[in-house]
Amino acid sequence: MIFKQIDDKSKEIYTLKNLLKLSSSESQKKLIVQDLKTLENGYKAEKDNAYYLDFAFEDGERNILLHDIRIEHKGRVAQFDHILITRIGIILLESKSFAGLLAINNDNSMTVTYGKSVVKTFPNPIEQNNRHMKVLNEFIKDNLEMSARFKLMGGVRIDSRVLIHPHTTVTNDDLPEGFERSDSFATKRLNEVETMSVVKVFGAVSTVLLREQTKALSELLVAHHKPIQFDYSKKYRVSNRVQEQKIDKRDSIPLEVVKKEVEKCPRCEEGSLVKRKRKSTKYADKYKSDEFYGCSQFPKCKYTQEI
């Protein structure tokens, strides 16, 4: 069962693309391109990995899947790409995707080689998951009623995995423990359950979640989800005069739409108003324009505003 989809990041992508058109500074353009590539690649990786997870778990009544959850608790922040809630515990899933050659080092840090000479090192994602597990564990203990049995056994079981995009080339002969391919995670998960030792089975049964509890936990996480949409227009300021000179009306959206796009949706207060075009001409005579402003969280929020 899919309880929450990935937050829409089309607004930030759209803003960066327009800033790239408007900017007259070559150095600024390079920075914008870097941010745009990072955002688009990360968004695509999350959506691709979500596809494999959705395919495996969307029809299951015993598992609840949430994408893109951000929790703030006691001054700490934890961002989860995917959360799988099962009857025997929670699995935190971190999505990773790289265009270069990925090598997972002995300390679980990651080294990526692009081309022949560009090498970048990324921190250990398992340690990141461990920090997020602590935040989530405290959050659950402080916000979810648990029986004495759960408290005695240490609370809800929380585990984690790092999901590698199937198109990423990994130089390791075998993936280290804690790393898995996103397209094979579901099969491995089912095999793990089937081959659990007696000790693990006993421990799992001692803290098994009822269906009502898994749903309550999912609702709690969604209710406390605090998404952040980065305002790139503040990071890369472009003057109005430059905007007037740079925008080409034939292939760009007018300035009033750029301004409108950063306004929050008055109904849900999570999404932003973006310009859309009507797909149907059935009620063309009813409206002054074939375009309108809609919430970026559609279909979650169906607020519209006429132009």
Q: What is the pLDDT of residues 38-68, one digit of tens each?
A: 888 888 888 888 888 888 787 766 788 999 9
In a domain, 56, yes or no: yes
Identify residue 214 by its one-letter amino acid code. T
Query: Are residues 293 and 157 part of one domain?
Result: no
pLDDT of res. 114: 87
The CATH number given to whatever domain includes residue 126 is 3.40.91
Query: Both 179 and 277 in a single domain?
Result: no
**How is 63-131 classified by DSSP, letter by letter?**
-EEEEEEEEEETTEEEEEEEEEEETTEEEEEEEE--SSEEEE-TTS-EEEEETTTEEEEE--HHHHHHH
The answer to whether residue 289 sits within a structural domain is yes
Confirm whether 242 is domain-assigned. Answer: no
The token pair that represents 116 in the structure block: 């022949």
Boundary (domain end) residue, out of 202, 223, 244: 223
Six-digit token string for 273: 């108003």
Please indicate, yes or no, whether residues 55 and 160 belong to a single structural domain of this protein: yes
- At residue 211's C-alpha, the angle toward residues 210 and 214, to 5°, is 90
CA atoms of 12 and 23, how far apart (whole Å): 16
Q: Is residue 254 domain-resident? A: no
| Statement: residue 215 has pLDDT above 90 | no
- Provide the H-helix boundaries in the chain: 10-22, 26-57, 125-143, 148-152, 185-194, 198-206, 211-223, 232-235, 240-246, 255-261
User: Do 169 and 278 lie in a common domain?
Assistant: no
Entry pTM: 0.67
Number of domains in the chain: 2
* One domain for residues 158 and 90: yes
Contact 3, 292 (CB under 8 A): no
Does 301 lie in the same domain as 203? Answer: no
**130 inside domain:** yes
* CA distances to 52, 76, 182, 186, 198 from 189, in Å: 13, 30, 11, 5, 17
User: Average pLDDT over the chain, rounded to whole?
Assistant: 79
- In a shared domain, residues 154 and 269: no
**Is residue 240 one of the residues assigned to a domain?**
no
Question: Backbone dihedral region of 93: left (phi > 0), alpha (psi from -120 to 50 degrees) or beta?
Answer: beta
Which DSSP symbol is given to 60? -
Domain span holding position 297: 263-306
Query: 28-37, 64-73, 148-157, 190-199: which has the minimum mean pLDDT?
Result: 190-199
- Do the domain assignments include residue 55? yes
Pair 129, 41 in one domain: yes
Query: Comparing 124-128, 154-158, 280-284, which segment has the lowest mean pLDDT?
Result: 280-284
* Domain assignment present for 229: no
Q: What secondary structure letter does DSSP report for 208?
A: P
Asked if residue 124 and residue 186 are part of one domain, the reply reads yes
Q: Which of 15-24, 31-40, 218-227, 276-285 has the lowest mean pLDDT?
A: 276-285
Whether 87 has a pLDDT exceeding 50, the answer reads yes
Residues 182 and 88 in one domain: yes
Do 128 and 269 lie in one domain? The reply is: no
Within its chain, how far is the Cα of 293 from the centroid? 25
Same domain, 182 and 270: no
